[in-house]
Structure 1
C-alpha cells in the first residue's frame, strides 16, 4: 500500500516539475538562443528539439526509476524514498540545463571563430 502512495506522490510531483521547468525553459530559452545564434527560425527549431529531448529524457527516467524501488513498509520510508527520488529528478534537471547552456555557449564561440 505504501508503494502505491509513494508512486502516486512521486509521479505527481516529478511530472509537474518536469512540465513546469520545460515550459519555463522553452519560453525563456528562445531569447538566449536568439542572442547566441541570431536566426529566429533556427532558434525556434533548436528550442523545440531541446524541449522534446528534455521531456523524453526526464519522463523516461521517471518511468525507469519506478521499476527499481524497494518495498516500502512505513510512512517514514515513504517520505524518505519519495524525497530522494524527487531530489534525483531535480538534480538531473539542473545538470541537463547547464549542459545545454554550456554546449550552446561553446558552439557559439566555435561558430564565431570560423
Structure 2
C-alpha cells in the first residue's frame, strides 16, 4: 500500500475522532449554558444544542475532507509523520478556533440573558405619581 494512502487513512481517523470528541464536549457542557439562557426550558435547550452540534460537525468534517488532498507524494516514514503533523496541526487549530467561537457565542448569549433578568425590578411598580413643577 502506498504511504500517501496510509497517511490519508491515519489523518481521517484522527481528525474525525478529534472532531467527535470536541463536539461531544461542547454538547455536554454547552447545554448548561443554553438551559440557563433559555430560562430552564430543557426541550428548547436540547434542540438548540443539537443544532449547534450538527453545524459544528458539518463545518469541521467539511474542512477535514477539503484538507485531505496533498501536493506531494509521500516516499518515506518520515514524510508520513511530516504530512500528518502539518495536516493534524491545522485541523487542531481549526477545531480550537471553532471551540473558542462556540464558547464565546454561548457566553454572550448567557450574559445577555442575565442582563435581561437584572433589568426587571424585583417588585412591580406600586403606583404612579404626577410630576410637580418647580416654582
TM-score (norm 1): 0.87
Q: What are structure 2's unaligned runs of at least 5 residues?
A: 120-135
Matches within 5 A, 1:45-60: 45-60=47-62
Which stretch of structure 1 is more off in the superposition, 28-37 or 51-60?
28-37
Larger Rg: 2
Give secondary structure in 2 for the equivalent of 1:66. Answer: coil
TM-aligned CA deviation for residue 29 of structure 1:
1.9
CA contact (8 A) 2:33 2:110 kept: no
Partner of 1:23: 24
| Structure 2 residue 84 is the aligned partner of structure 1 residue 82 | yes
Task: Report the structure, 1 or 2, having the larger helix content.
Answer: 1
Which stretch of structure 1 is more off in the superposition, 8-17 or 102-111?
102-111
Runs of 4+ in 1 over 6 A off after TM superposition: none
Q: What are structure 1's unaligned runs of at least 5 residues?
A: none
State the alpha-carbon separation in 2 of the partners of residues 53 and 8 from structure 1: 24
Partner of 1:63: 65
Q: 1:42 to 1:27 in 2, by over 3 A?
A: same
TM-score (norm 2): 0.75
Aligned length: 114
Offset from partner CA, 1:46-78 (integer Å, 9 cap, x none): 100111011111110111011244321221111
